[in-house]
Structure 1
Amino acid sequence: MNIRFLGHSAFVLHTPDHRLLLDPFLSGNPQASLGVDEALALKPSAVLISHAHGDHWGDALAFAKGGVPLIATAEIAGYAMKHGATNAVALNIGGTYRAEWGSVYLTPAWHSSSFPDGTYGGMPTGLVIELGGQRVYFAGDTSLFSDMRLIGDLGLDAALLPIGDHFTMGPEEAARALELLRPKVAIPMHYGTFPVLTGDPAVFAREGAARGVDVRLLKPGETTEL
Structure 2
Amino acid sequence: MNLTFLGHACFLLDDGTCRVLTDPYLTENPLAPVKPDKVEADYICVTHGHGDHIGDTAQIARRTGARICCPVELGSAVFAPQGLDTIPANLGGTCKLPFGSVKLVPALHGSGVPGCLSCGFLFEIGGKKIYHAGDTALISDMALLAEEDIDVALLPIGNVYTMGPKDALRAVKMIRPKLVVPMHYNTFPLIVQDPNAFAEAVIASGFQAAVLEPGQTFSL
Q: Normalised by the size of structure 1, how large is the TM-score?
A: 0.93
Cα distance change on mapping 1:28 and 1:171 into 2, 3 Å: same
Give the equivalent residue in structure 1 for 2:106: 108
Show the counterpart of 1:61. 58
| Contact map agreement 1:156 1:184 (CA 8 A) in 2 | yes
What letter matches 1:62 in structure 2?
Q
Q: Secondary structure at the match of 1:7?
A: coil
Coordinate RMSD, CA, aligned? 1.1
The one-character-per-residue Cα deviations of 1:159-200 (angstroms, maximum 9, x if unpaired) are: 000000111111111011001111101100000010000332
Mark the runs of 5 or more structure 1 residues left unpaired by the alignment.
Answer: none
Amino acid at match of 1:83: Q
- Structure 2: how far apart are the matches of 1:198 and 1:36? 24
Cα separation, 2, equivalents of 1:88 and 1:102: 17
Q: CA contact under 8 A between 2:60 and 2:66: conserved in structure 1?
A: yes
1:144 corresponds in structure 2 to 138
Distance 2:92 2:60 in 1: 25
2:13 alignment partner, SS class:
strand
Match of 2:37 in 1: 37
Contact between 2:160 and 2:191, CA under 8 Å: does it hold in 1?
yes
Q: For 2:9 and 2:104, locate their aligned partners in 1 and report how far apart those are by CA, in whole Å.
A: 17
Name 1:221's counterpart in structure 2: 215
For residue 2 of structure 1, what is the aligned residue in structure 2?
2
Cα displacement string for residues 79-122 of structure 1 (whole angstroms, at most 9, x for unaligned residues): 2011231x1011000000001111100011011111xxxx4271
Corresponding residue SS for 1:160: strand
Q: Distance in 2 between matches of 1:172 and 1:199?
A: 11
Which residue is 1:177 aligned to?
Answer: 171
- Identity among equivalent positions (%) equals 41
Contact between 1:157 and 1:184, CA under 8 Å: does it hold in 2? yes
1:52 and 1:121 in contact (8 A); partners too: no
Distance in 2, Cα, partners of 1:16 & 1:72 = 23
SS in 1 for 2:148: coil
- The total of aligned residue pairs comes to 218
Mapped pair 1:51 → 2:44: no
Q: Decide which of 135, 139, 157 is 1:163's aligned counterpart.
A: 157
Higher helix share: 2
Matching of residue 84 in structure 1 with residue 83 in structure 2: yes
**Which residue identity lines up with residue 33 of structure 1 in the other structure?**
P
Q: Normalising to structure 2: TM-score of the pair? A: 0.96
Tell whether 2:121 aligns with 1:127: yes
Q: Which amino acid aligns with 1:12?
A: L
Of 95, 98, 109, the residue aligned with 2:96 is 98
CA-to-aligned-CA distance 1:30-58 (integer Å, 9 cap, x gap): 1111111100xx2x120000111110110
d(CA) in 1 for partners of 2:115, 2:210: 31
Moved over 3 A (4+): none
Report the residue type matching 2:86 in the other structure: A
